[in-house]
Chain A
Amino acid sequence: MLTKKLAKVLLLITVFTVALYGCSGNKEDTNKSKTPANEDSSITEPTETAKSEPTYGGSITVGITQDLDGLDPHKALSAGTKEVLFNIFEGLVKLDKDGNLVPAVAESYHISEDGMTYTFTLREGVKFHDGSPVTADDVVYSIKRSAGMLEPKDPTVIVESALSVISDVVATSERTIEIRLKQVETELLPYLTCSIVPKDYEELDTKPIGTGPFRFVSYTPLQSIVLEKNDQYYIEGVPYLDKVTFKISSNTDAAFMELQAGNIDILPYITDAQASQLPKGYHMESGPMNLIQGLFINNKVAPFDNKLVRQALCYAVDRQAVIDMVAGGRGNVIGTNMYPGFKKYYDESLVNTYPYDPEKAKELLKEAGYPNGFKFTIMVPSNYQYHIDTAQVIVEQLKQVGITAQIQLIEWSSWKSDVYKGRKYETTLVGLAAELAPRKALERFRSDAENNFMNYINPEFDALYKQGETETVEEKKIQLYKQMEAMLTNDAVAVYIQDPHQMTAVSDKLGGYTYYPIYVQDMSLVYYKK
Chain B
Amino acid sequence: MKYNIKKLTTLIVSLLFASVLTFIAFQIIPGDSALNALGMDATEEQLEEYREAMGLNKSIPVRYINWLKDALRGDFGYSSQYQMQMKVSALIRDRLTVTLWLAVLSFFLIVVISIPLGILSARKKNGILDSFITLVTQVFMSIPSFFLGMLITLIFGIILRWFTPGNYISPGENFGIFLRFMIFPAIAVAIPKIAMMVKFLRSSLLREMELDYVRTAKSKGMTNINILFRHILKNALIPVITFLAMMLADILAGTILVEQVFNLPGLGRLLVSSIANRDYAVMQAIVLYIVTVVIIINFLVDLIYQWIDPRVKRD
* Interface residue ranges, A against B (CB under 8 Å): 4, 7-8, 11-12, 15, 19, 22-23, 26, 67-72, 75-77, 153, 155-156, 158-159, 161, 205-206, 220-223, 247-251, 254-255, 257-258, 260-263, 383, 411-414, 416-418, 420-421, 450-451
Please tell me if the beta carbons of A155 and B49 are within 8 angstroms of each other in the complex: yes
Q: Choose among A72, A261, A416 the residue that contacts B31 (Cβ–Cβ < 8 A).
A: A416
Please tell me if the beta carbons of A67 and B260 are within 8 angstroms of each other in the complex: no
Q: Choose among A70, A254, A263, A413 the residue that contacts B260 (Cβ–Cβ < 8 A).
A: A254
Which 6 A-B pairs have CB atoms at the shortest separation, nearest pair first?
A: A413-B31, A222-B265, A258-B166, A70-B83, A155-B53, A205-B85
Q: Choose among B81, B84, B160, B262 the residue that contacts A156 (Cβ–Cβ < 8 A).
A: B84
* Interface residue ranges, B against A (CB under 8 Å): 30-32, 35-44, 46, 49-50, 52-54, 81-86, 91, 94-95, 135-136, 138-139, 151, 153-155, 157-161, 164-168, 170, 259-263, 265, 269-270, 272-273, 276-278
Please tell me if the beta carbons of A416 and B32 are within 8 angstroms of each other in the complex: yes
Q: A221-B94, A413-B30 are in contact. Are A69 and B260 (CB under 8 A)?
A: no
Q: Choose among B36, B50, B139 the residue that contacts A11 (Cβ–Cβ < 8 A).
A: B139
Q: Which A residues are in CB contact (< 8 Å) with B85?
A: 70-72, 75, 156, 205-206
Q: Choose among B37, B159, B260 the residue that contacts A26 (Cβ–Cβ < 8 A).
A: B159
Chain B, Cβ-Cβ closest to A18: B155
Please tell me if the beta carbons of A161 and B37 are within 8 angstroms of each other in the complex: no
What's the minimum C-beta distance from A271 to chain B, rounded to whole angstroms? 17
Q: Which B residues are in CB contact (< 8 Å) with A249?
A: 166, 263
Please tell me if the beta carbons of B40 and A421 are within 8 angstroms of each other in the complex: yes
A69 CA / B86 CA spacing, docked (Å): 10
A336 CA / B223 CA spacing, docked (Å): 87
Q: A158-B39, A221-B94, A255-B166 are in contact. Are A69 and B46 (CB under 8 A)?
A: no
Please tell me if the beta carbons of B83 and A260 are within 8 angstroms of each other in the complex: no
Q: Which A residues are in CB contact (< 8 Å) with B54?
A: 155
Q: Which B residues are in CB contact (< 8 Å) with A15?
A: 139
Chain B, Cβ-Cβ closest to A9: B139
A108 CA / B50 CA spacing, docked (Å): 37
Chain A, Cβ-Cβ closest to B263: A254
Q: A67-B273, A70-B83, A261-B166 are in contact. Are A221 and B265 (CB under 8 A)?
A: yes
Q: Choose among B38, B82, B135, B276 the residue that contacts A413 (Cβ–Cβ < 8 A).
A: B276
13 extra A-B contacts, CB within 8 A, seeds A222-B95, A261-B167: A22-B154, A69-B82, A155-B54, A156-B85, A221-B86, A221-B95, A221-B270, A222-B273, A250-B263, A251-B260, A260-B165, A383-B276, A416-B32
A135 CA / B272 CA spacing, docked (Å): 43
A172 CA / B14 CA spacing, docked (Å): 65
Q: A11-B135, A411-B31 are in contact. Are A19 and B83 (CB under 8 A)?
A: no
Chain B, Cβ-Cβ closest to A251: B260
Q: Choose among A72, A161, A417 the residue that contacts B83 (Cβ–Cβ < 8 A).
A: A72
Q: Which A residues are in CB contact (< 8 Å) with B82?
A: 68-70, 221
Please tell me if the beta carbons of B151 and A412 are within 8 angstroms of each other in the complex: no
What's the minimum C-beta distance from A129 to chain B, rounded to whole angstroms? 19
Chain B, Cβ-Cβ closest to A154: B53
Please tell me if the beta carbons of B157 and A261 are within 8 angstroms of each other in the complex: yes
Please tell me if the beta carbons of A19 and B50 are within 8 angstroms of each other in the complex: no
24 contacts between A and B (CB under 8 A): A8-B135, A22-B159, A26-B159, A70-B82, A76-B83, A161-B41, A220-B170, A221-B86, A221-B265, A222-B273, A247-B166, A250-B263, A250-B269, A254-B261, A254-B262, A257-B157, A258-B263, A261-B158, A261-B164, A261-B166, A263-B165, A412-B276, A413-B277, A414-B30
Q: A77-B39, A222-B270 are in contact. Are A261 and B165 (CB under 8 A)?
A: yes
A220 CA / B170 CA spacing, docked (Å): 10
A491 CA / B97 CA spacing, docked (Å): 57
Q: Which B residues are in CB contact (< 8 Å) with A72?
A: 83, 85
Please tell me if the beta carbons of A263 and B166 are within 8 angstroms of each other in the complex: yes
Q: Which A residues are in CB contact (< 8 Å) with B263?
A: 249-250, 254-255, 257-258
Q: A8-B135, A8-B139, A450-B43 are in contact. Are A156 and B276 (CB under 8 A)?
A: no
Of B164, B259, B265, B277, most buried by chain A (CB within 10 Å of CB) is B265
What's the minimum C-beta distance from A428 to chain B, rounded to whole angstroms? 13
Chain B, Cβ-Cβ closest to A67: B273
Please tell me if the beta carbons of B273 and A413 are within 8 angstroms of each other in the complex: no
A220 CA / B171 CA spacing, docked (Å): 14
Please tell me if the beta carbons of B40 and A416 are within 8 angstroms of each other in the complex: yes
Q: Which B residues are in CB contact (< 8 Å) with A383?
A: 276
Of A221, A255, A262, most buried by chain B (CB within 10 Å of CB) is A221
Q: A8-B139, A71-B85, A257-B165 are in contact. Are A416 and B154 (CB under 8 A)?
A: no
What's the minimum C-beta distance from B98 to chain A, rounded to whole angstroms? 9
Please tell me if the beta carbons of B35 and A421 are within 8 angstroms of each other in the complex: yes
Please tell me if the beta carbons of A254 and B37 are within 8 angstroms of each other in the complex: no
A158 CA / B153 CA spacing, docked (Å): 40
Q: Which B residues are in CB contact (< 8 Å) with A206?
A: 85
Q: Which B residues are in CB contact (< 8 Å) with A22?
A: 154-155, 159-160
What's the minimum C-beta distance from B82 to chain A, rounded to whole angstroms? 6
Q: Which A residues are in CB contact (< 8 Å) with B94?
A: 220-221
Q: Which B residues are in CB contact (< 8 Å) with A417?
A: 30-32, 35
A71 CA / B83 CA spacing, docked (Å): 9
A416 CA / B170 CA spacing, docked (Å): 35
Q: Which A residues are in CB contact (< 8 Å) with B136?
A: 11
Q: Which A residues are in CB contact (< 8 Å) with B262?
A: 254
Q: A155-B54, A221-B91, A254-B166 are in contact. Are A8 and B138 (CB under 8 A)?
A: yes
Please tell me if the beta carbons of B81 and A69 are within 8 angstroms of each other in the complex: yes
Please tell me if the beta carbons of A250 and B35 are within 8 angstroms of each other in the complex: no
Q: Choose among A77, A251, A411 the residue that contacts B37 (Cβ–Cβ < 8 A).
A: A77
Chain B, Cβ-Cβ closest to A418: B30
A161 CA / B40 CA spacing, docked (Å): 12
What's the minimum C-beta distance from B132 to chain A, rounded to whole angstroms? 10
Q: Which B residues are in CB contact (< 8 Å) with A69?
A: 81-83, 277
Please tell me if the beta carbons of A420 and B40 are within 8 angstroms of each other in the complex: yes
Q: Which A residues are in CB contact (< 8 Å) with B165?
A: 254, 257-258, 260-261, 263
Q: Which B residues are in CB contact (< 8 Å) with A153?
A: 49
Q: Which A residues are in CB contact (< 8 Å) with B153?
A: 257
A206 CA / B265 CA spacing, docked (Å): 19
A219 CA / B59 CA spacing, docked (Å): 36
Q: Which A residues are in CB contact (< 8 Å) with B260?
A: 250-251, 254
Q: A254-B261, A258-B166, A263-B166 are in contact. Are A12 and B83 (CB under 8 A)?
A: no
A421 CA / B95 CA spacing, docked (Å): 34
